[in-house]
Amino acid sequence: MPSPSPIKPSPVKLYDFHPPVEDFRSAVLRGLSLPQKMLSPQFLYDKRGSELFDAICQLPEYYLTRTEMDILRANAKDIAAALGDRSLVELGSGSSQKIRILLDAAPQVATYVGVDISRQHLQEACAALMADFDGLDAIAVCADYTQPLPIESIPELRNRPTIGFFPGSSIGNLEPAEAIAFLKTVAVLGDLIVGVDLKKSPIILEPAYDDTQGISAAFALNVLVRINRELGANFDLSQFEYRAHYNEAKGRIEMAIASLCDQTVHLGDTEIGFKAGETLRTECSYKYTVDEFQLLAMEAGFQPVQVWIDRHQLFSLHHLKQM
C-alpha cells in the first residue's frame, strides 16, 4: 500500500487569538435574551459563511465589492504612494482580493498581515497571496478586530511602521459610537484606509442585501446552522425567513431572521421563545455621506486627508491620518 503523502505545511504563519466556543455560547445566549434579539455579525463567518460572503461579492445586485475594486484600480498609484513601505494590516481581510490591487501597485510593501475571525479562510487567502506575490511575507492573525490587536504578541508588527486597511464597508456593521471607539482602538496601526458605503436610494440598497438568488438569505440563515452545530441548538430553518430593510431615518440597512410562527427553540438547557413575525437581527450596515464619515473619523482623532469616490458616487475610500 502506498504510504500517505505528508500534509503540506502551510507557508503562512498563523497567530491564533480566536475566542473559545464558550464565548460564542454566552454571546448567543445574551443576544437571544434581549427584547430585540440580536447577534454580532462576526458570528456569520464560519467557513461556510465566508464562502457564501464570497458568492455575495459576485452578485449583480452587490455593487459594493466591484465598485470599491474599481476605486482601488483607478487610484492605485496614489494609494500605493500613501502606503509607502509600511507593513500593511488588513482588518476583516476575508479572501484578500482587494489587497491584490494595492500589492500590485506597491511592490515595496514586504509584509502583509491579514486579521480575520474566519480562521481557515484567512489561512487559505494568505497562502494564496504568498504564492502569487514573490518576496511578500503574508501573516495570518485570527482575532476579533473589535478587541485591541495584540501587537506585542506579533513580532512582525512590534515596533514596525504600519498602516491599516479596512475595506468592504465593514465599519458600517458598527453602531456610529462603536465605530468611533473602534477607530480609536485601531489608531495603534497609524494611518488608515477605510472603505465606506455611501447613502443612496433604497432601490439600490435593498436588493444589494436581499438578492433574487437567495444568497444573502442563505448567508444570514447559516448562522442558525452554525448555532445548531456548535452549540447543540435545534433551530428549524424552515420556520424562519430572511429580511433586509433600509431604515432611512437611521441611515442603515437592517438585516434580520424572522420567525414564521410562534415557536420555542432549545439551546442546551435554555428555551428561547419566538412569536410569529418576531425578528432576530443578524447585522446592520450603516451608510454615510462623505461629510458624516469624516466628522465621525475626526471624533476618533483622525484627520481626513483624501477621499476617493467612483463616478456613480456609490462608494467612498478614505485615507485618514492621526491628528
Ligand X SMILES: C[S@@+](CC[C@H](N)C(=O)[O-])C[C@H]1O[C@@H](n2cnc3c(N)ncnc32)[C@H](O)[C@@H]1O
Binding site for ligand X (CB under 6 A): 41-42, 45, 50, 53, 57, 65, 92-94, 98, 116-118, 144-146, 167-168, 170
Nearer to ligand X, 62 or 274 (CB): 62
Distance CA 160, CA 2 (A): 47
Q: Count of residues for the chain?
A: 323
For residue 13, give the 3-state DSSP assignment.
Answer: strand
Closest approach, Cβ 101 to ligand X, in A, equals: 11
Cα-to-chain-centroid distance, residue 24: 17
Nearer to ligand X, 12 or 265 (CB): 12
Closest approach, Cβ 54 to ligand X, in A, equals: 8
Nearer to ligand X, 41 or 164 (CB): 41
Nearer to ligand X, 66 or 278 (CB): 66
State how far the alpha carbon of 299 is from the alpha carbons of 177, 178, 289, in Å: 10, 12, 16
Distance CA 85, CA 102 (A): 12
Closest approach, Cβ 212 to ligand X, in A, equals: 20
Distance CA 228, CA 246 (A): 29
Nearer to ligand X, 177 or 276 (CB): 177
Closest approach, Cβ 4 to ligand X, in A, equals: 32
Closest approach, Cβ 77 to ligand X, in A, equals: 21
Among 118, 115, 159, CA closest to 140: 115
Would you state the cell numbers that stand for residue 216, as one nine-digit string? 444573502
